[in-house]
Structures are given as structure tokens and as C-alpha cells.
């Protein structure tokens, strides 16, 4: 075996561009080292937190994300992910700037989910803040307008424990039971009156509670973790024989 020199990271399939947040990241959150069974490296964008990403336009932060992605690629990662679904605004710009696969947001899975579940399927999107999630986020993630219009979208912004813990980062501790209960209730409410065929979690912090969500809606649940696992499998194949 001949291994080329010149890289900071080796055998690291995924580099993650991360928001500058300090609330707890339990297992299941993509920044927790126990979440994946393969190595990831996190690159924090200092000064860019939840408030900045929810209120930003692509032009304001695009250069910062592109530069950080190029640095991760030079350092040796084989694919680049984002730690927040609202990073969808930078999907096209970052993917155009590097030569490795880019998955800035779980939203890029929506066209695939439509293909998997068939025409006329009803897809729900549970987001950290429904008021901040715009059609442009979906368009930059490659979702056609017809699919955007058909989505059932619900947000966590009016749930007090989630808002204080995640959106505001103001809770001294994370009460996972309370946060999970709110997320489960939000997901269950999305099925009132009309069932879902699939549910996508926009917010990476919701992934900690993906099983709770699935128990509430009884359909396949897609998130950033499912996307990262798929990408890692593609860029680091097993030797079988």
C-alpha cells in the first residue's frame, strides 16, 4: 500500500461545517463523536450561530462557507456536510467550489424521497423554525417548486423548551425528556387529518429524537444522519473479497 502525504486527515470520510453553538449535543446529534460508526471531523464557523443562520441571506455568509469547505477538502475529507438544515442556502455554491460530494442540508433528500414513495406522496418537513424556512432554501437544495408546494411543514419555534434550549441556547442544561416530548407532539400533530408517507427532519438537533418521531408518525423518517451515512458509504466502500 502506498499512502500519499500532504493531508491533515486520513481515513475520514466526512467533514462537517458547524455552527458556533454551545448547547448540549447528545448522541444522535451529528457533532457528537458517538453518533456515527466512522470518523468525522467538525469545522466550527466562529461567530455564526443559530440567530445568524436563521436570519441570513446566502450572499452574507456564502464566502465564509465556501472558504471553510475548500479548507476541509484540502485537509483530506471525502465529503462535506452541514450541521444545520438552513445551510441549504449554500448547497449550490459550496458544491460548485469543491470536488467532493456536498450535503449541506437534509433538504437535498426531498427529490429522492419523492422518487422512493411515488407520485402524490405526502412528505412532512419538521423544522426548527417554520417562519425562517423559505422556498429559496428548498430551491437551493434542488427541490422543484411543484414538490415544495406539496410539502407539509411544521416548526418547533413555539415549543418553549425547544426554543429556549436550541434556538436561544439559553437553557443551563438540556432536559432531553422535555425536548423529546415536544418534538414527538409536534410530529404527531402533523398527521392530524391527513396521514404522511414520509417525514424529513430539517434540523440536525431533531435527529437525536428520530426514533421518538417515528413512533409518533409510523412512517419512514429521513434526516441529516441518514444522508451522511449514505455519503460515507459511497466515498469509503468496503473491500469484500
pLDDT digits (tens, 9 = 90+) for 90-99: 999 999 999 9
| CATH number of 14-105+227-235, picked from 3.40.50.1820, 3.40.50.300, 3.40.50.620, 3.40.50.1860 | 3.40.50.1860
Whole-number Å distance between alpha carbons of 220 and 12: 28
For the cut 80, the answer to whether the pLDDT of residue 147 exceeds it is yes
Please state, in angstroms and as integers, the Cα–Cα distance from residue 111 to each residue in 11, 24, 44, 81, 145, following that order.
Answer: 30, 32, 29, 18, 11
Quick count: other Cβ atoms within 10 Å of Cβ 22? Answer: 7
For the cut 80, the answer to whether the pLDDT of residue 56 exceeds it is no
Percent above pLDDT 70 for the chain: 99
Q: What is the pTM of this model?
A: 0.95
Please state, in angstroms and as integers, the Cα–Cα distance from residue 158 to each residue in 54, 87, 183, following that order.
Answer: 15, 22, 11
How is domain 107-222 classified at the architecture level of CATH?
A: 3-Layer(aba) Sandwich (3.40)
Please state, in angstroms and as integers, the Cα–Cα distance from residue 155 to each residue in 127, 137, 178, 186, following that order.
Answer: 5, 15, 16, 8
Q: Domain residue spans in the chain? A: 14-105+227-235, 107-222
DSSP sequence for 147-193: HHHT-EEEESTT-HHHIIIIIS---SS--HHHHHHHHHHHHHHTTSS
Quick count: other Cβ atoms within 10 Å of Cβ 2? Answer: 3
Whole-number Å distance between alpha carbons of 121 and 135: 19
Please state, in angstroms and as integers, the Cα–Cα distance from residue 49 to each residue in 17, 19, 40, 126, 172, following that order.
Answer: 12, 5, 21, 20, 17
**Do 195 and 172 contact (CB within 8 A), yes or no?**
no
Grid cell listed for 203? 434540523
- Of the CA atoms within 13 Å of residue 14, those in its CB half-sphere come to 28
Confidence class of residue 60 from pLDDT cuts 50, 70 and 90? confident
Confidence class of residue 58 from pLDDT cuts 50, 70 and 90? low
- Please list the helix, strand and coil fractions of the chain in percent, rounded to the nearest 5, in that order: 45, 15, 40
**Buried (b) or exposed (e) across 3-19, using 16+ Cβ within 10 A?**
eeeeeeeeebbbbbbbb
For the cut 70, the answer to whether the pLDDT of residue 57 exceeds it is no
107-222 matches 14-105+227-235 in CATH topology: yes
Grid cell listed for 48? 455564526
For the cut 80, the answer to whether the pLDDT of residue 29 exceeds it is yes
pLDDT mean across residues, the chain: 96
Q: Tell which residue, 134, 76, 72, has the closest CA to residue 105.
A: 134
Amino acid at each position: 500500500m502506498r499512502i500519499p502525504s500532504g493531508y491533515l486527515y486520513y481515513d475520514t470520510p466526512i467533514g462537517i461545517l458547524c455552527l458556533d453553538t454551545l448547547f448540549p449535543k447528545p448522541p444522535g446529534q451529528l457533532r457528537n463523536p458517538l453518533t456515527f460508526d466512522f470518523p468525522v471531523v467538525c469545522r466550527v464557523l466562529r461567530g455564526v450561530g443559530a440567530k445568524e443562520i436563521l436570519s441570513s441571506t446566502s450572499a452574507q455568509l456564502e464566502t465564509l462557507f465556501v472558504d471553510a469547505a475548500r479548507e476541509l477538502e484540502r485537509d483530506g475529507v471525502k465529503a462535506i456536510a452541514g450541521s444545520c438544515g438552513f445551510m441549504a442556502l449554500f448547497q449550490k455554491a459550496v458544491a460548485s467550489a469543491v470536488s467532493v460530494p456536498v450535503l449541506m442540508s437534509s433538504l437535498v433528500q426531498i427529490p429522492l424521497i419523492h422518487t422512493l414513495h411515488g407520485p402524490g406522496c405526502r412528505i412532512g418537513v419538521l423544522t426548527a423554525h417554520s417562519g425562517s424556512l423559505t422556498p429559496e432554501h428548498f430551491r437551493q437544495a434542488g427541490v422543484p417548486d411543484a414538490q415544495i408546494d406539496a410539502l407539509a411543514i411544521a416548526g418547533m419555534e413555539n415549543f418553549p423548551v425547544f426554543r429556549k434550549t436550541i434556538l436561544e441556547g439559553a437553557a443551563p442544561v438540556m432536559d432531553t425528556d422535555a425536548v423529546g416530548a415536544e418534538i414527538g407532539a409536534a410530529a404527531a400533530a402533523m398527521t392530524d387529518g391527513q396521514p404522511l408517507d414520509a417525514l424529513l427532519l430539517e434540523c440536525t438537533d431533531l435527529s437525536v429524537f428520530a426514533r421518538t418521531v417515528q413512533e409518533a408518525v409510523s412512517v419512514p423518517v429521513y434526516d441529516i444522519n441518514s444522508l451522511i451515512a449514505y455519503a460515507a458509504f459511497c466515498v469509503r466502500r468496503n473491500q469484500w473479497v
